[in-house]
Structure 1
Amino acid sequence: MTVNRVLIFAGGRLDPGMLREVRPDDILIGADRGALFLVEHGMKPDLAVGDFDSVSQEELNLIRTYSKETLVCDPINKDLTDTELAFEHAVRRNPAEIVLTGVIGTRLDHTLANLHMLLPAAEQGITCAIWDEYNYITLCGSVSQVVDHGYTYVSLLPLTPVVTGITLNGFLYPLHNATLRIGQSLAVSNQFVSPIGTVTVGEGWLLIIQSRD
């Protein structure tokens, strides 16, 4: 059975406005403090997962009470971050789409690791996005129809060392068969000129980052 969409709420910067994006048929997964965020805002996670080292025992009891399922792992003897654990459980549900929020915060290492999760999702044919108040991030490895979500800028950054054959349509600054390498900022701070833009990639993986200050 294919699940339409899984929303993962992690323990980074969380925007209550994201709760308005929850659909009745969404599967909700809370990773560590993200589960507490859902519960405190009247939501019932389908799964709460993590080591829960960022919540008190009282808060963990609250999570257990209001989550349909809670999986607590050892904070020392584990190989994955709480967010990746949540992501793996999301993938097992065979969703058409995964949305991650609360995965950007003060820990740059965690933020980068979370951005990298877009790649295994794409390789498995799952539409995946990182979405919060300031950013909407997807990954392109062939052709993407990019919907303008109302952010100020749209930037393209290579996730692989080299991305070739980049062509843009529907953007203020077009590209045709361009090449981007890690370390180049050529495609930063572009803008939409139509409600939907098209990004085409020949080889490599390209991050598409819609953002605002």
Structure 2
Amino acid sequence: MDDWTTIHIVAGGPKELIPDLSPSHREGIFWIAVDKGVKYLMDEGIVPNMAVGDFDSISEKEREIYEQTVPLFKIYEKEKDETDLDIALSFALEKKPKIIRIFGATGGRIDHLMANISLLIKPLQINGPLIELIDRQNLIQVKGPGQYVLKRKLDKPYISFIPLTNKIAGLTLKGFKYPLEDRQIPFGSTLCISNELIQEYGTYSFEKGILLVIESSDG
């Protein structure tokens, strides 16, 4: 397969939660549509490189048109062991990009949202690329132990750190309104909700665990 540094996956969540996919952000991107995401992209004038899913959320006529237009159109049975997004992400990881951004994967059913967030753990298991799950209000990442730099975003000023494992060991936050130094954060703690950067850049680091990092706005 060709080398791509950036892959965008557009799933079939509520369209109103998908940020603007304007022409200025389309160059050099490999696009994967998931189920109804193919309609969202085609309506925006973007022909995805690949579309995967059971396509039960679009009409038969739409499916036939898209199947003739999209270079790689893969139809799966509705009853299967993985979600459509899981399948799309596996394809994306095979291409070994530097970053994968996922849109249209929030809103609607809570079980779908939780499953989609859990998929962000996949690249940690293979030392894979950065993955971001993005909607109009949130940018979500999952991180393993290490030190990271965050740039302040005026449109997403709130930053929350949520343990996904039994505990986060040695969490340190610098450049934040509420700094921390070598703290143990247990699963279920709300200590690190709605923090803010007080300078252009801040850092966070931890020694053990898996951390959900959410940059968000009120709307």
> TM-score under structure 2 normalisation?
0.91
Question: Following TM superposition, by how much is the alpha carbon of 1:65 offset from its aligned partner in structure 2, in angstroms?
Answer: 3.0
| CA distance in structure 2 between the partners assigned to 1:51 and 1:89 by the alignment | 16
Partners of 1:28 and 1:47 within 8 A in 2: yes
The code of the aligned residue for 1:120 comes to K
Asked whether 1:147 is paired with 2:151, we answer yes
Q: Which residue of 1 aligns with 2:212?
A: 207
| CA distance in structure 2 between the partners assigned to 1:130 and 1:42 by the alignment | 22
Which of the numbers 70, 80, 83 marks the counterpart of 2:82? 80
| CA distance in structure 2 between the partners assigned to 1:148 and 1:82 by the alignment | 33
Question: Following TM superposition, by how much is the alpha carbon of 1:16 offset from its aligned partner in structure 2, in angstroms?
Answer: 5.3
Question: Following TM superposition, by how much is the alpha carbon of 1:2 offset from its aligned partner in structure 2, in angstroms?
Answer: 3.9
Which of the numbers 83, 89, 92 marks the counterpart of 2:91? 89
Q: Which residue of 1 aligns with 2:20?
A: 18
Cα deviation digits, residues 153-212 of structure 1 (max 9, x gap): 110001112111100112111011011112110000101112222110110011110111
Partners of 1:155 and 1:208 within 8 A in 2: yes
| Aligned CA distance change for structure 1 residues 16 and 41 (closer, same or farther; 3 Å) | farther
Identity %: 32
Cα root mean square deviation, aligned: 1.5
Cα deviation digits, residues 116-159 of structure 1 (max 9, x gap): 11111233231111111010011222112122333131100011
Q: Which residue of 2 aligns with 1:6?
A: 7
Which of the numbers 50, 54, 63 marks the counterpart of 1:51? 54
Q: Which residue of 2 aligns with 1:71?
A: 74
The code of the aligned residue for 1:200 comes to S
Shifted more, 15-24 versus 193-202: the winner is 15-24
Partners of 2:141 and 2:213 within 8 A in 1: yes
Runs ≥4 in structure 1, deviation > 4 angstroms? none
Q: Which residue of 1 aligns with 2:180?
A: 175
Q: Which residue of 2 aligns with 1:132?
A: 135
Q: Which residue of 1 aligns with 2:36?
A: 33
The code of the aligned residue for 1:110 comes to H
Which of the numbers 165, 177, 182 marks the counterpart of 2:170? 165
Question: Following TM superposition, by how much is the alpha carbon of 1:22 offset from its aligned partner in structure 2, in angstroms?
Answer: 3.0
Partners of 2:18 and 2:103 within 8 A in 1: no
> TM-score under structure 1 normalisation?
0.94
Cα deviation digits, residues 36-91 of structure 1 (max 9, x gap): 10011100100000011111101212322331210000112x11111111101111
Unpaired runs of 5+ in structure 2? none
SS in 1 for 2:21: helix
| CA distance in structure 1 between the partners assigned to 2:196 and 2:65 by the alignment | 44
The code of the aligned residue for 2:91 comes to H
